[in-house]
Amino acid sequence: MANTTTRGRGAGSPARRSLPAAARAAAKRAERAAPGAPVVSGRTLRAREEPGAQAPPPEPDWEAPDWEGPEGPPPGRRRPALLAVLAVLLVAGMVALAVLVRAYADGRGTDRARAEAAEAAREAAPVVLSYDHRRLEKDFAAAGARLTGAFRDEYRRTTTSVVAPTAKKYRGVVKASVVEPPDGGAPAVSVVSASPDRAVVLLFVNQVTTSTQVSGPRVDLNRVRMTLTRTSEGWKVSAVDAL
């Protein structure tokens, strides 16, 4: 009796020969049904690539967004920049306003200085440029009160060493006055330049001199340039030049 259950390695076993054929047929059916699906080849599972397919590009590394595009930065980024610009404009406006206020104040101060210096020069000229041999000390003291700085010291030296001896010897009297128009107009006083603390004034001064050296009064028509300086006691003469 023959043993029908015996398995051998020969080619005569139909079941052994039909297993690979069945697996290949199943794989082909799966491939036709779903292109690109995993394919079983023996014991290896691999993905089947479609013809002409390309691998997906690699994802780029994340970078900070570039806000320099044509649309500019987003509203959140735009606000600090706008505030900075407004702050700069505010500071510039305050500086400009301060400059205008200072210029306005300086202008008003200069106008006031011109008027005050002109009046001080008109009052000082007859005192500084006059003297009488009968009261020299009084006249020199009155003149010295209207002077300041180095010019006051120079005036004292000159009057003490030169003017006083000559005036006493020849009985000199000098009377100075600022020229005034015959029609009663403003005295001949002109401010050449002025700042809040300094001014240069031009005056036309007549000096009438009498002494034992001349037979009668002598009139000298002089142009005098006075420099005046503002002090804590008001405007004082700091220089006198005869032109």
pTM, entire model: 0.57
In a domain, 177, yes or no: yes
Residue 167 in contact with residue 136, Cβ under 8 Å? Answer: yes
- Evaluate whether 225 touches 241 at the Cβ level (below 8 Å): yes
Please state, in angstroms and as integers, the Cα–Cα distance from residue 126 to each residue in 52, 61, 179, 201, 234, following that order: 117, 95, 11, 14, 18
What is the domain range of residue 128? 100-242
What share of the chain in percent tops pLDDT 70?
65
Residue 65 lies in a domain: no
Domain containing residue 108: CATH number: 3.10.450.230
Q: Which pLDDT score, from 0 to 100, does residue 43 have?
A: 47
- DSSP string over 95-121: HHHHHHHHHHHHHHHHHHHHHHHHHHH
Total structural domains within the chain = 1
Give a yes or no: residue 88 inside a domain: no
Q: pLDDT value at position 190?
A: 94
Burial class (CB in 10 A: 0-12, 13-18, 19+), 127: middle
pLDDT in 10s for each residue of the chain, 243 residues:
444 444 444 444 444 445 556 666 665 665 555 454 444 444 444 445 555 555 556 555 545 455 455 555 555 566 777 778 877 888 887 887 777 777 666 666 788 999 999 999 999 999 999 999 999 999 999 999 999 999 999 999 999 999 999 999 999 999 999 998 887 777 899 999 999 999 999 999 999 999 999 889 999 999 999 999 999 999 999 999 998
Q: pLDDT, tens digit, for every residue of 6-55?
A: 444 444 444 444 555 666 666 566 555 545 444 444 444 444 555 555 55
The answer to whether residue 2 is domain-embedded is no
The answer to whether position 69 is within a domain reads no
- Token digits for 101? 């206020």
Residue 156 placed within a domain:
yes
Of the candidates 107, 124, 155, 140, which has an alpha carbon nearest to the alpha carbon of residue 229? 124
Residue 25 lies inside a defined structural domain of this protein: no
Contacts of 49 (CB under 8 A, 6+ apart): 36
Those residues with Cβ within 8 angstroms of residue 208's Cβ, 6 or more apart along the chain or in another chain:
174, 175, 176, 217, 218, 219, 220
- Does 59 fall in a domain? no
